[in-house]
Structure 1
Amino acid sequence: MTIDWAHERVLIFAPHPDDETLGCGGLMSKAKAAGAEVYVQFITVGDTADLSPKGQSTVQERYGEIKEVADFFRWNDWQIAFPGDEFHLKLDRLARFELSNMIERHSPLSIAELEPTVVIAPHRTSYNQDHQATAEAVHTALRPSDNRLRHHPRLVLAYEEAADQWRYEAAASPNFLVELDEGHVDDKISAMRLYGTQIHEHPHTRSELTLRSLAALRGMQGGVAFAEGYHALRWLA
C-alpha cells in the first residue's frame, strides 16, 4: 500500500529538538516534496550538558538550530510547549493529565486544532524519560472514542531512534516502512548537520554513518535501497 503524501497533514511530536529529524527526517523530506503539510510540536528544550569542549549547549543555540531546520524542511509551523530547564529532561515529573491535554487540545498545534491525518510520536521503549512521557501522553490523547466527537487521525506511528535499540526490552522490528530515495536520506543528514550541538562523529547514535546505515538496514528489510522504520499504532484504511 502506498500513501499519497500530497493529501496528508502530518503532526510530529518531538520531546526535544532533533528527535523529529532522527526519527522522521526522511519521511518529512518525502512528504514535503509531495506537497504535504508538516507540523512539529516540540515538548521541551533547555540548556543541555554535552561532551563538547564547553560542556553544554544553551537554549539560545537550540532555538537557532530549530529555525534553521524548520526553514530547511519548510515546516508549516512548529512550537515548543514547555520550554526551559524546569521541564527539560524532567517531563516524567509533569502530570500526564497536563501533558496529554496540551497534546489533545491546549496548543496551537494540538490534535483538536490541526486535525492531522497522520500523527507520529516517539516509541515508549526509549531509555529517555522525556521520550517515554511524550509517548505515553500521545497514547492517552489518541485514546479510542466516537470520531464524530473527537478527531481521530487515520494513521498513528511511533518512530525509532538508533539510541533506543540497545535496551533488553526494546520493541520488535518496525512493522511499517516508509521507502526513501538517496535524496531523502541526504536531506535527513543535512538537517542533522544543522543541529550542530547534537550531531556527533562516529561511533555515536547521532552520527551520519549511523543514520545512513539504519536507513539502509530498514530499506533492505523492505526490499528497497533505503527506508525509515515505524511502529503502526493505528491505521484506518
Structure 2
Amino acid sequence: MTWVRRNRPLLLVLVACLGLAAWINLPLWQELGGSDARAQALPVAPAFRAGQRVLMLSPHPDDETLCCAGMIQQARRAGAEVFVVWVTPGDGFEFDAALTERSLRPGPAGLRELGNARADEARRAAAVLGVDEAHTFMLGYPDGGLSRLFTVNYARPFVSPRTGAQAVYVRGALTPGHPFTGQALEADLNSVLGRVRPDVVLAPAPQDFHADHHTLSYVAVRLMAARGQVDRLRFWVVHGGLEWPLPKGLHLREPLTVPPRARNLPWQRVPLDAAQVDVKLRAVRAYGTQTRVLGRFMEAFVRSNELLSPQSLPDAPGPVSTGGERDVRGLPGR
C-alpha cells in the first residue's frame, strides 16, 4: 500500500516504542502477580448449564471474542442460549480508518464506514462462535463516547467528534435513529435485558482501563441491581494495563495471566481445549480491520484459558490502578 510505504518510518518508530514499553514493564508486571503459576493455581469457574440464558455485553466489536470466545463455546456446548450485544460499532479507531482511507486524517464518512465494516465483522465472528444472528444486537452508540452519554449527555444528544453523528446510523442497529444520549442507550439495554431475561451477564469489570468498558460496567451494575439480579453478573477485563497480556502474539499453550489493574479480584479460570482455542483464533481473525493494526495484541488473548470474576470489587481494600500504565487499545476511540 502506498500509504504504508510512505509512512513506514513512522510506523516502525511506533512499533519500536511499543516493544520497548512492553520490555520495560515486564518485571513490574511479574512483580504484581501476573505469573503463569498464579494463573494455573486459580480455581476453575463453575460450568455453564443447559437451559441457561447467557448475555454478553461487549463495548466494541471484538471484545466479546477477546475475553470470552471460549466461554461462549462452552455455554453453547452445555445447552445454554448465548446472546451478544455490541454497544458501539467501534467507529472511533482512527489508526484503522487511516489505513482504510489511506489518509493521515480520515474523515467522518470514512469512520462511519469503518463502523459498518466492524459491525459486519462482529456478526461474522459471532457466527464462527456458533451464535445465531437472531441472538445478536448492535446498538451503535459512539465509540469513545459512553462516559459522555452517562454524564453531560444523558438527556442532550452527544455529537461524535470522529463520525459527526449524533444518532445511531450503523446498518442493522436495534433502534436506528436513536439519539446519542444516556437515556436512549439505557432504554436499549433495558430492552435487551427484557427480551433475553439472562441468567448470566458477562460484563467488563470497572477496573478495565478503557473508558467505554468501565462506563458500561457501571451501567450494567445499576441496571441489574434495579432488577434485583446483580448476582447474575460475571466480570472480565480486556484492557488490563502494563501492556497486558504479555508476551504479545500467539502463545496457544500458555495461560492468560491475571491483569495487573484487577489483580485483587477473585479470579476464576476457564480452561479451554485445543478445539476451542482454534475456534477462538478464527473468530479473532474475522476482525480483519483490527488485526491488521493490532494483530499481536489480539492474538495474545488466544491462550489455554480465559478469566472470569464473580465480583467487580475485591473482598479486601486494595489499589485498583498500578499508576502510570498505558494501553494502546485503551486510547480514546481505539
TM range (shorter): 0.7 to 0.9
2 CA distance for matches of 1:136 and 1:7? 28
User: Is this contact kept in 2: 1:42–1:79, CA < 8 A?
Assistant: yes
Q: 1:69 deviation in Å?
A: 1.4
AA partner of residue 90 (structure 1): G
2 CA distance for matches of 1:28 and 1:172? 24
1:102 aligns with 2:102: no
Secondary structure of the corresponding residue to residue 189 of structure 1: helix
User: Is this contact kept in 1: 2:48–2:74, CA < 8 A?
Assistant: no
List aligned pairs for 1:142-221, cutoff 5 A. Answer: 142-143=224-225, 150=227, 152=229, 155-161=232-238, 163-166=239-242, 170-172=261-263, 175-200=267-292, 204-206=296-298, 208=299, 210-212=300-302, 215=303
Matched length: 207
TM-score calculated relative to the size of structure 2 = 0.55
Point out the structure with max Rg over C-alpha.
Answer: 2
1 CA distance for matches of 2:216 and 2:54? 17
Moved over 4 A (4+): 200-203
Secondary structure of the corresponding residue to residue 26 of structure 1: helix
1 CA distance for matches of 2:230 and 2:209? 27
Q: Which of 138, 142, 146 does residue 91 from structure 1 map onto? A: 146
Q: 1:165 deviation in Å?
A: 3.2
Q: 1:67 deviation in Å?
A: 2.1
Let me know the Cα RMSD of the aligned residues.
Answer: 2.8
Identify, as 1 or 2, the structure richer in helix: 2
TM-score calculated relative to the size of structure 1 = 0.76
Percent of matched pairs sharing the same residue: 26
In the superposition, relative to structure 1, how do residues 141 and 91 fare at CA in structure 2: closer, same or farther (>3 Å)? same
Q: 1:48 deviation in Å?
A: 2.9
* CA offset digits 1:168-226 (Å, max 9, x no partner): 971116522222111111111110100111125788421x2x123xx3xxxxxxxxxx3
Q: Which residue number in structure 2 is paired with residue 223 of structure 1?
A: none
1 CA distance for matches of 2:73 and 2:187? 29
User: Is this contact kept in 1: 2:204–2:237, CA < 8 A?
Assistant: yes
1:49 aligns with 2:141: no
2 CA distance for matches of 1:4 and 1:23? 16
Q: Which of 216, 219, 224 does residue 134 from structure 1 map onto? A: 216
* CA offset digits 1:145-165 (Å, max 9, x no partner): 6xxxx362753211122x323
Unaligned runs of 5+ in 1: 216-225
Identify, as 1 or 2, the structure richer in strand: 1
2 CA distance for matches of 1:121 and 1:227? 18
